[in-house]
Chain A
Amino acid sequence: MIWQNWLLVMILLSSLVPGLIIFSLAESRHGLRTTLNLFGAITKMVLVMIMIVGIHQGKSFAVHLVLLPGLELVLRADLLSALFVALSSILWLFTTIYAIAYLEDSPNRSHFFGYFSLCVTVTIGIALAGNLLTFLFFFEMLTLSTYPLVVHRGTTEALAAGRVYLIYTLAGGFCLFLGVVWLHVLVGPVDFSREGVLSPLVESHGQTLRIIFFLLIAGVGVKAALFPLHGWLPRAMVAPAPVSALLHAVAVVKAGAFGIIRVVLDVYGLQTAKGLGLLMPLMLLASVTIVYGAIYALKQDNLKHRLAFSTVSQVSYIALGISIGHPLAIMGGMAHLVHQGLMKITLFFCAGNIAEILGVHHISRMNGVGRRLPLTMAAFTLAAMGMIGLPPMAGFVSKWYLGLGAIAQGQGWLIGVLVLSSLLNAAYFLPILYGAWFKEPEGEWPADSGTVGPVESHWMLIVPPVVTALIVLLVGLLANSGLSPLAWVRLIINARYGL
């Protein structure tokens, strides 16, 4: 049916068109800009819902555009892309609401929200990409649409961070580009729906396939902040809080992790990747990144920097789950794609609130924040406990399946990595919680912007983290119900590997 094919395009347009209009708006058109933003975000949510219901009923959605003979842009909605699309569109709505309040009265808002919309459009494009070329297409555009957001403040520090970001991501982009072209020359267009096109080549072109895998993983690994390609991420923390939230939970880092899933499972296929011995190095890399990120997080006093290194660590759970190669572990990894997004966006909203409302940026100054910002800190606490992996939070569910998969695959030592990481998570989150709730504030806050009525600040700053924190709790509690992300991931795994 025609509408089915146009649905995917409309999902892209629902943020692209508002974004382009916003670019042309004068700075003073606050009302119209907000309306457009929210209209776009809600329209996208509705369209994504329609798509997900459609997929559930077994409908298929796909659009093709021929760029050259043999070179096609394909948008296709499969179960996995639906997972990422749903995450992106839901979190975009909350981030938009938050950003509107956060950037109140700051300059260049039209510019900011324009690129913000572009960024989400491109992320959705990555999620819906039906072949490797389309993935590359949107992946490169993601770099370009996020760069202006990173340097939005325009300070020397922000510009320097932006430069580092560009160098890392563009270099990664060229690696990916070369890998994609090489693979194209070798086997023709690589469609995600035809797993196993590479398996006949294992014998004859094993070494070439390994090099290509290295190029592809290096390309997506930069965005996924895999050690040692993570250097840009802590620096990019100079961006405004909504940008960090978007970068860490939805767009850049998640696109990288999603790319790892696509490359391993859909381009190479689990069996081929195992046969070529590619999973073990990836597993080691992911484990190192998990521990390394957690140790560095421990060393940071700046709250956003600690969260940044925590992202480095946590996102590698996804890569770890994939590289273990057991369906249960893959399930844990994919579920973590959603869970980490929900938890991390909550944490960044809260960090943004603490900085914006009180002017507090450092953990050593956070004593007693819980009394001034009880709702914010409650949300922070829920998300942090999820990160540590305490039951019944979302993070626990992911770790549980990762552990099950590791044991089933005979990689019991990974339990050690998981436990170590959980301990480190506890070590860098619990002191924050303790200080914020139980210690006395040290005098006046550096820059308290005051309460708004009975609420601790503007409601648009408070509602997003509170809602996402509640979702973190619900997702964990109701993990076994049919509506949870885990249930959807189970569908994916069942369809692919038959649990």
Chain B
Amino acid sequence: MMGLQLQSDCWLIWPVILPLSAALVAFLAKGQPRLSGLTGALLTALASGTLFLKVVNHGGGSYDLGGWQPPLGISLRGDGPAVLMVLMTAVTGLAISVYAGGYFQSRIAMGGKGRRHIVQERFFWPLWLLLWGALNGLFLSADIFNMYVTLELVALSSVGLTALSGKPASQVAAMRYLLASLLGSLSFLLGVAFLYKTHGSLDLATIQAALALSPPVALAMALISVGLMLKCALFPFHFWLAPAHANALAPVSAILSGLVIKGGWYLFFRFWQGFLPLVGDGVVVVLAGLGGAAIIWGAFQAFCQQRLKMLVAYSTVAQIGYLFIIFPLLAIGAGQGAAAVFYFAISHSCAKAALFLAAGSIFLQMGHDRINNLDGVRQILPITTFAFALAGLSLMGLPPTGGFIAKYMYLSLAVSQDSWWLVLVMVVGSCLTAIYICRAVSHVLSPRMVAGRSQVVVGASMEWSALALALVAILLGFIAPLPLGLFEVVG
């Protein structure tokens, strides 16, 4: 029995173990951090892809680490949503890794400021692989203490990555990020402790099956929710996000905005699947209200920004709102709401990472990212600007992109529920998104010529990896049945 389980489901462990080991190797291999980092990224992506194929062909499964079953051991669960997130991380992460390789190569080749970039790269790869492993662990975790551990690992490695750029602004941002994140973790941990105390189990499925409303459970719900909202910077907890995301190194911005945020949200969603039946409509509407506020406020802030990376960062604040306005719509239909929000999450991950990668290339080439002075960058970086525009389409929810499919599902759910205020929020939000994206795109795609660095410093791998991610965001507009079919798989 044990042996059989080991054979069939041990695939679950590789997307976690591989990046963690690769992080260690990348840290120890002083001379070749890039080579070991890229190899580790490739192996992790392959392991994630294999897991995906296994789950598609043979269904989901679970795996108890070392054969120890819950409540004693650490248990991993590979169901549809979890594997979908692992796959999303693999696709986005692989493109970001390729980009990062080119990015550090270009930075080091440009010289200047001594060995700073070499040191940055030396720490980038271990931190990034650690983060990747922790994220995969978070997605695949079945017990809530394990979730806390991986969440903390994700947070610490993200803060380390944020601080990597060494600029004073990013130091301050990283410090704020650290404090917000620690506060969130603490709150989450307290909530977990309450749940463990009341249910005597750490397995999320077991807890959810027995969940009943009582004061300690309510307190646990509140603590867990607030902690995770802090982590994913839901309005009004978004204060730390924009400076941290915008001031980080280019690949780091993409990692933070595309992937890390989704980790906190994923846990929130998983917990709330159990909480939803317990709470009244009012609580759910408050959640969605915060999401709506995030959509409008974030988009407005994005529109007001003068710097490209700040614009993209505030766009993340806005898009997080879409991950939360879904909660009133979850109750109806055969899981259509959950499918919609996961599709939104994976489309956003690809599109946002592509935007940040492209913005990073533009920054590197021009030496600044003031939007009004970016006219004509198209002539120097045609592929990058094209990627930026394509990814922008997905964010606006225009066809033919994954964002369009997600918005279509959202809107039809809201209309069929007669949630007209949600429809209004989405339409206004989409208009605002269109306005700020078009503002940026009209400058970078402008036919005017402008003075910049005459020599192209952005490597081909940087240009193409951003385009590849943008093309995945487009492709998601055509292959929705495939990922959503996976969504039905239970663990």
Is the beta-carbon distance between A184 and B448 smaller than 8 angstroms? no
Is the beta-carbon distance between A65 and B447 smaller than 8 angstroms? no
Q: Which stretch of A39-47, A149-157, A387-395 is in the interface? A: A149-157
CB-CB contacts below 8 Å: A165-214 with B: 166-167, 170-171, 173-174, 177-178, 181-182, 184-185
Contact of A140 with B398 at beta-carbon distance under 8 Å, contacts A153-B447, A166-B438, A185-B416 already known:
yes
Is the beta-carbon distance between A170 and B442 smaller than 8 angstroms? no
Is the beta-carbon distance between A170 and B412 smaller than 8 angstroms? no
Q: Which stretch of A66-74, A224-232, A426-434 is in the interface? A: A66-74
| Chain B residues whose CB sits within 8 angstroms of the CB of A154 once the complex forms | 446-448
Judge if A276 is at the interface, Cβ distance under 8 Å. no
| Chain B residues whose CB sits within 8 angstroms of the CB of A159 once the complex forms | 442, 446
Tally of contacts, chain A with chain B, CB under 8 A: 75
Is the beta-carbon distance between A65 and B399 smaller than 8 angstroms? no
Q: How far is the CA of A30 from the CA of B393 in the complex (A)?
A: 31
Is the beta-carbon distance between A141 and B400 smaller than 8 angstroms? yes
CB-CB contacts below 8 Å: B427-474 with A: 427, 430-431, 434-435, 438, 442, 445-448
Q: How far is the CA of A178 from the CA of B484 in the complex (A)?
A: 23
**Which among B398, B411, B445, B447 is the interface contact of A178 at CB below 8 angstroms?**
B411
Q: Which stretch of B174-182, B310-318, B475-483 is in the interface? A: B475-483
Judge if A163 is at the interface, Cβ distance under 8 Å. yes
| Chain B residues whose CB sits within 8 angstroms of the CB of A107 once the complex forms | 447
CB-CB contacts below 8 Å: B289-324 with A: none
Is the beta-carbon distance between B393 and A144 smaller than 8 angstroms? yes
Judge if A136 is at the interface, Cβ distance under 8 Å. yes
CB-CB contacts below 8 Å: A109-144 with B: 111, 136-138, 140-141, 144
Judge if A441 is at the interface, Cβ distance under 8 Å. no
Q: Mark A43-70, 1 if CB is under 8 A from B, else 0.
A: 0000000000000000000000111110
Is the beta-carbon distance between A151 and B447 smaller than 8 angstroms? yes
**Which among B407, B409, B416 is the interface contact of A68 at CB below 8 angstroms?**
B409
Judge if B405 is at the interface, Cβ distance under 8 Å. yes
Is the beta-carbon distance between B399 and A137 smaller than 8 angstroms? yes
Nearest-CB distance from B263 to chain A (Å)? Answer: 26
Judge if B423 is at the interface, Cβ distance under 8 Å. yes
Judge if A374 is at the interface, Cβ distance under 8 Å. no
Is the beta-carbon distance between A173 and B398 smaller than 8 angstroms? yes
Is the beta-carbon distance between A170 and B400 smaller than 8 angstroms? no
Nearest-CB distance from A135 to chain B (Å)? Answer: 11
Judge if A148 is at the interface, Cβ distance under 8 Å. yes
Q: How far is the CA of A66 from the CA of B415 in the complex (A)?
A: 22
Q: How far is the CA of A442 from the CA of B438 in the complex (A)?
A: 45
Q: How far is the CA of A148 from the CA of B441 in the complex (A)?
A: 10
| Chain B residues whose CB sits within 8 angstroms of the CB of A141 once the complex forms | 398-400
- Interface SS of chain B: helix
Is the beta-carbon distance between A140 and B447 smaller than 8 angstroms? no
Q: Which residue of chain B has the shortest Cβ distance to A155 in the bound complex? A: B448
**Which among A65, A138, A152 is the interface contact of B478 at CB below 8 angstroms?**
A65
| Chain B residues whose CB sits within 8 angstroms of the CB of A167 once the complex forms | 435
Is the beta-carbon distance between A170 and B447 smaller than 8 angstroms? no
**Which among B431, B446, B478 is the interface contact of A151 at CB below 8 angstroms?**
B446
| Chain B residues whose CB sits within 8 angstroms of the CB of A166 once the complex forms | 434, 438, 442
Is the beta-carbon distance between B442 and A151 smaller than 8 angstroms? yes
Q: Which residue of chain B has the shortest Cβ distance to A167 in the bound complex? A: B435
| Chain B residues whose CB sits within 8 angstroms of the CB of A151 once the complex forms | 442, 446-447
Is the beta-carbon distance between A136 and B399 smaller than 8 angstroms? yes
Interface residues on A, range: 35 or more
| Chain B residues whose CB sits within 8 angstroms of the CB of A140 once the complex forms | 398-399
Q: Which residue of chain B has the shortest Cβ distance to A110 in the bound complex? A: B382
Nearest-CB distance from B291 to chain A (Å)? Answer: 19
Contact of A178 with B431 at beta-carbon distance under 8 Å, contacts A111-B447, A152-B447, A154-B448 already known:
no
**Which among A137, A148, A182 is the interface contact of B415 at CB below 8 angstroms?**
A182
Q: How far is the CA of A108 from the CA of B445 in the complex (A)?
A: 12
| Chain B residues whose CB sits within 8 angstroms of the CB of A174 once the complex forms | 427, 430-431, 434
Judge if A162 is at the interface, Cβ distance under 8 Å. yes
Q: How far is the CA of A181 from the CA of B420 in the complex (A)?
A: 13
Q: Which residue of chain A has the shortest Cβ distance to B447 in the bound complex? A: A154
Q: Which residue of chain B has the shortest Cβ distance to A141 in the bound complex? A: B399
Nearest-CB distance from B228 to chain A (Å)? Answer: 29
CB-CB contacts below 8 Å: A274-297 with B: none
Q: How far is the CA of A292 from the CA of B480 in the complex (A)?
A: 46
CB-CB contacts below 8 Å: B394-434 with A: 396, 398-400, 404-405, 407-409, 411-412, 415-416, 423, 427, 430-431, 434
Q: How far is the CA of A71 from the CA of B442 in the complex (A)?
A: 32
| Chain B residues whose CB sits within 8 angstroms of the CB of A144 once the complex forms | 393, 398
Is the beta-carbon distance between B398 and A162 smaller than 8 angstroms? no
Q: Which residue of chain A has the shortest Cβ distance to B423 in the bound complex? A: A178
| Chain B residues whose CB sits within 8 angstroms of the CB of A111 once the complex forms | 447
**Which among A66, A71, A137 is the interface contact of B400 at CB below 8 angstroms?**
A137
Q: How far is the CA of A184 from the CA of B477 in the complex (A)?
A: 18
Q: Which residue of chain B has the shortest Cβ distance to A162 in the bound complex? A: B442
Q: How far is the CA of A185 from the CA of B415 in the complex (A)?
A: 7
Q: How far is the CA of A162 from the CA of B448 in the complex (A)?
A: 14
Q: How far is the CA of A391 from the CA of B372 in the complex (A)?
A: 54
Is the beta-carbon distance between B398 and A68 smaller than 8 angstroms? no
B399, B423, B478: most-surrounded residue (chain A CB, <10 A): B399
Nearest-CB distance from A96 to chain B (Å)? Answer: 20
Nearest-CB distance from B396 to chain A (Å)? Answer: 8
**Which among A137, A153, A171, A185 is the interface contact of B412 at CB below 8 angstroms?**
A185
Nearest-CB distance from A28 to chain B (Å)? Answer: 14
Is the beta-carbon distance between A170 and B415 smaller than 8 angstroms? no
Q: Which residue of chain A has the shortest Cβ distance to B343 in the bound complex? A: A68
Q: Which residue of chain B has the shortest Cβ distance to A158 in the bound complex? A: B447
Contact of A181 with B427 at beta-carbon distance under 8 Å, contacts A66-B481, A144-B393, A170-B434 already known:
no
CB-CB contacts below 8 Å: B105-158 with A: none
Is the beta-carbon distance between A181 and B399 smaller than 8 angstroms? no
Nearest-CB distance from B381 to chain A (Å)? Answer: 14
Nearest-CB distance from A13 to chain B (Å)? Answer: 15
| Chain B residues whose CB sits within 8 angstroms of the CB of A170 once the complex forms | 396, 431, 434, 438
Q: How far is the CA of A137 from the CA of B478 in the complex (A)?
A: 12
| Chain A residues whose CB sits within 8 angstroms of the CB of B447 once the complex forms | 107-108, 111, 151-154
| Chain A residues whose CB sits within 8 angstroms of the CB of B477 once the complex forms | 67
User: 24 A–B contact pairs at CB < 8 A?
Assistant: A67-B405, A67-B477, A68-B408, A68-B484, A107-B447, A108-B447, A137-B400, A141-B399, A144-B393, A151-B442, A151-B446, A153-B447, A154-B447, A154-B448, A159-B446, A162-B442, A163-B438, A170-B438, A173-B398, A178-B423, A181-B411, A181-B412, A182-B415, A185-B415
Where the two chains meet, the residues of A that have a C-beta atom closer than 8 Å to any C-beta of B are 65-69, 71, 107-108, 111, 136-138, 140-141, 144, 148, 151-154, 159, 162-163, 166-167, 170-171, 173-174, 177-178, 181-182, 184-185
Query: Would you list the 7 A-B pairs with minimal beta carbon distance, nearest first?
Result: A154-B447, A181-B411, A137-B399, A185-B416, A185-B415, A154-B448, A170-B434
12 additional contacts (CB under 8 A) given A66-B481, A166-B438: A68-B405, A107-B447, A108-B447, A137-B404, A141-B399, A148-B445, A151-B446, A154-B447, A159-B442, A181-B411, A182-B415, A185-B415
